Chain A
Amino acid sequence: MITANLSLTDATTRIDGPLLFAHRRVDVGLNEAVEVTGSDGHPRLGRIAALDDELMTVEILESTSGLGLRGTRIRFFGEPISFSLGPGILGRVFDGVGRVIDGGPPIATRSRMPVDGAVLNPIRRKKPEDFIETGVSTIDVLNSLVRGQKLPIFSGGGLPHNRLAIEIALHARLRAGQETTETQSPFAIVFAGIGVPFETAEFFRRSLEESGALGRTALFLNLASDSSTQRLLAPRFALTAAEYLAFVEGRHVLVIITDFTNYCEALREVSASHGEIPGRKGYPGYMYSDLATLYERAGSLQGKPGTLTQLPILTMPSDDISHPIPDLTGYITEGQITLNRSLDREGIYPPVGVLPSLSRLMKDGIGPGFTHPDHPALANQLYASYARATQVRLLANVVGSDGLTPDDRRMLTFGQQFEQRFIRQEKARSLEESMNEGWSLLRQLPIGELSRLNDQQIDTYIHGSD
């Protein structure tokens, strides 16, 4: 059967939106990649979306303007859309469909991997439990990140999510003494910008360059000016590269993808152009499953040295966490770091909204044998107290602080101090520094408020170190 590198000219019968219909004169399979070249000579990536006895439907993943029924050549690859990868991808810049755009030589291919990836067998997954110190107190103490986790940043327009992401990427490390031969594999960053403005892309590139980390980074840029169908492929190419680095080369890979909101907008646009029935707010009904095929590519495998950790960024439309994009994301990812606009207005950096943030895998990476035996209790107590302080603040807004009991007034002060001393930080803190700051805040509370701590912890940290 001849399928590879076969091409077909003048077989096109209809072009409708992103779809191109052609006579099925060659033997092709569903989902296989094609390249459609118009009389303008510009090649466009596409895939086979449907087949019947006479016709094939090609979904073109780039702009169709300039294509005609005559003079359009379709080249068949005989395999699903794939990415040629090799050791040289670090330090390079690619566009959203994996073409080198930094002017350098092409990548020497070592393996070719389909960009849709394959499903990680759940029983072959390794349970993620290597604590990563990020230097951010609200993450390290309260919402710890572990290797192999997918922890998105829920942000809003104008909030400093890019700065936070890059600081985490550059600071992320295992704690001293935790390194074993197994965890010592080299580290790499894969950065994917989906529909980002040029300035944002440039900010990331410059920050990585200045810190000297560009050499171990692969950059994938789909700029805001690129086609929106290509936006759907950019994270897939980036994650395929990350999987190559993690599972073929055995590196610890941190993937930063920004901004997933642009991805979902593109998904909506493409779905509408296919005439599909829209779901909530016009997004397609399969958005959950589609996002899952991307987020679920984080993880690590038993008996393999590499890990793939995802730090996706999304901006919540009008800061609404119940919008379908953050909502569906939160159902898939292992927690979320939420940025808060009012903290940002008060000049607190990093403006992490503590209460709606969560790390689901935290329990596996902290406590005895991982960080510190009293870490879980401390996190728990800080959460309980800060939640109570927030409640008291609400009350104080209505009745004024005069209507409060003395205990409530103390909680109010605790809340302010927590934001000013714990959330706000001038520079990266070690886990120990972060924990000490937490204990010192709890010391100002009456013992009756500390029901999440046991007597020994109260003796050691609350009474002990004045």
Chain B
Amino acid sequence: MSTATIHWISGPVLRAVSNDTFHIREAVWVGSKGLLGEVVRLKALPESGQELTVQVFEDTTGLRPGDPVQGQGAALSVRLGPGLLGQIFDGLLRPLTGGEERNFLAPGQQPQSDQHFPFQPLVETGRILKGGEPFGLIRAATDTPPRDGLEQQCLVPPTLQGEVVSIAEAGLYSDRAPLCTLQESDGRQHTLAMSHSWPVRTPRPVAERLTIGPPLLTGQRILDCLFPVARGGKATVPGGFGTGKTVLLETIAKWCNADVIIYLGCGERGNEMAGVLDEFPHLEDPRSGRPLMERMVVIANTSNMPVAAREASIYTGVTVAEYFRDQGLHVALMADSTSRWAEALREVSGRLGELPGEGGYPAYLSTRLADFYERAARVQTLSGKGGSVTLIGAVSPPSSDFSEPVTTHTKRYVRNFWALDRKRAHARFYPAIDPLTSYSEDASVLASWWHARGNPNWAAQRRRFLTVLEEQARLERMAMILGKDALPPQQQLVLLVAGLINEGFLRQSAFSSKDRAASPQKQNRMMAILDRFMDLAEQAVANGMSIEQIQTLPLLRRVQRMGEEIGEEELELFTQLEEGMEKAFR
């Protein structure tokens, strides 16, 4: 193992000299506590040996010249295995477990207890396995009915292959215990365990990338119907503070139809993480009936944790997502917030003395963002299954200015843009997504999915809603000059209908038990009702009905509140509402 000696240190950056070999991006242990760091620069010294520059991911208090640096011989890697689901980790995927003795986090390595999982072999000796193929199954230890937890696979690391020469019997094993031995044609042998390491900055290989697939259903009407995102797609949520980014991401994490959720708190609040940990275990996944926490991996790098680890955490998160994707699962990753990651990048870059670009960010910000978002994909895995990683990244633009570098660069790489609007948030209108500045490039791909699932008019209705909302903004500007009374009845009707779309359809309370997540069926019914209302009201106005008359219809309040009043198991009430509507306009 290569070693070096510190000879200069300031903040999280140190320089060390060594006669051994080190590589760029190699992970190192620093000092007696074994702080985790990464080699970022190498320079030959005039005499002999080399000088390495290391960024340390943890608090460096107490380090001094003369302290040792030890190379790990591999790039910064994380251990991927069955113990990830339902757990919470720091930005370097070290579990944040522990009792009272770990009330406060201390830098350095923590002893980790071995976890044991029930293993079931899938192959016999003599079988040839390629990288990425499963050799065993793990059924998560859930004794509680009604249904089993997620079944996980033990994968051959993507870079290895060979003939199975030994395989363990079914039983309870530690996730690091050797279970399977592969022999390559040249005689080299590899021992495999349930878990394996993978370097975080390297995307995991796939057999083939596919075009983006069916929608990632979020249960949020404004997203699913107006600005949908496809599985394997990427979306960004920019918004100033207090516009509801975190609540929106948490809501999607709760109700979206992915198999596994990676929730990445990157430079965010500790109390929010406590809230997630308090709430998610008590919520039930509507599809499996199991606690929602069982399909989650939480990576928490709160704002007061060391900055360099925040820079790494985003890669950690997406690597974990790819690991589950490779098992043939659909994964959604929420990153809150990528701006904090970019700031970490800026800070580390500044300490290394690099030339700053726009807004002080390093010139490679855009490349790094592209690297991250390009890891979203729908793929055929090495073992021939279908899987996907959908990325949803929040952006926190300073002063809510969407022209700042992180927002503009992100916009170049994502296909879906969900802009949060401060005015809506001030009126407590959530989700505060502004329908006029947001867009979804995935919508055109997804229309056929909706058309095949009970709503042949989806694309037309969506277009109509967006047109009405656009028209509303124009008319309101006009009303500012003329006064509302001066608008002709047809235009006043547009304002009324737009209000109804906003109140009755787009607004959706994340805390209402009936309305927090809407099924595609419910969304279809609601869209149809509003669509029909527009037809009827336009007809009525043309026949001489006044706006006041429409405004005082008792039915209007029912339409306004239909989302909150009609639950998933009583969708037939929508038929009653439709009938009532036909009657009211007759």
Contact = CB atoms under 8 A, between A and B. Distances in A.
Interface of A: 24, 27-32, 49-53, 57, 80, 116, 118-128, 148-149, 247, 276-280, 285-286, 288-289, 292-293, 296-299, 301, 303-304, 322-324, 327-328, 330-332, 334-336, 355-356, 358, 360-361, 363-364, 376, 379-380, 383-384, 387-388, 394-395, 398-400, 402-405, 407-408, 447-448, 451, 454
Interface of B: 7-11, 60-65, 88, 96-98, 100, 102-106, 240-242, 246, 265, 267, 269-275, 277-278, 300, 302-305, 307, 340, 343-344, 346-347, 350, 356, 359-360, 396, 398-401, 423, 425-429, 479-486, 503, 511, 551-552, 556-557, 560-561, 564-565
A87 to B, nearest CB: 21
A124 B103 contact: yes
A280 B275 contact: no
A-B pairs with lowest CB-CB distance, top 3: A403-B483, A387-B427, A322-B399
B7 A128 contact: no
27 contacts: A28-B64, A29-B62, A30-B64, A31-B61, A51-B9, A57-B10, A118-B104, A120-B104, A121-B105, A123-B88, A124-B98, A126-B274, A280-B360, A285-B343, A288-B343, A292-B267, A296-B269, A296-B303, A322-B400, A383-B427, A387-B423, A395-B479, A395-B480, A403-B482, A405-B484, A448-B551, A451-B503
B46 to A, nearest CB: 16
Contacts of B9: 30, 50-52
Q: What's the dominant secondary structure at chain A's contact region?
A: mixed
B484 A119 contact: no
Contact of A119 (B302, B356, B561): B302
| Most chain A beta-carbon neighbours within 10 Å: one of B241, B273, B340, B427 | B241
Nearest to B423: A387
B23 to A, nearest CB: 24
A324 B241 CA distance: 12
B241 A330 contact: yes
Contacts of B269: 296, 332, 334
Contact of A296 (B304, B423, B479, B483): B304
Contacts of B302: 119, 122, 292, 296
A20 to B, nearest CB: 15
A122 B274 contact: yes
A360 B60 CA distance: 33
Nearest to B67: A29
A39 to B, nearest CB: 29
Contact of A122 (B10, B277, B400, B428): B277
Contacts of A124: 98, 100, 102-103
Contacts, number: 230
A436 B279 CA distance: 31
A383 B428 contact: yes
Contacts of A303: 100
A125 B102 CA distance: 11
B303 A30 contact: no
A52 B7 contact: yes
| Most chain A beta-carbon neighbours within 10 Å: one of B10, B96, B246 | B10
Contacts of B307: 286, 289
A380 B60 contact: no
B26 to A, nearest CB: 22
Contact of A403 (B240, B270, B486): B486
Contact of B242 (A80, A322, A324, A336): A336
Contact of A125 (B8, B274, B400): B274
A299 to B, nearest CB: 6
A27 B511 CA distance: 57
B303 A121 contact: no
Contacts of A407: 551
B563 to A, nearest CB: 11
Nearest to B479: A395
A408 B484 CA distance: 10
Nearest to A280: B398
B427 A384 contact: yes
Contact of A324 (B398, B428, B429): B398
Given A49-B10, A123-B97, A451-B503, A292 B304 contact: yes
A121 B65 contact: no
Contacts of B565: 454
Contacts of A379: 428
A175 to B, nearest CB: 21
A451 B271 contact: no
B60 A31 contact: yes
A332 to B, nearest CB: 6
A288 B275 CA distance: 22
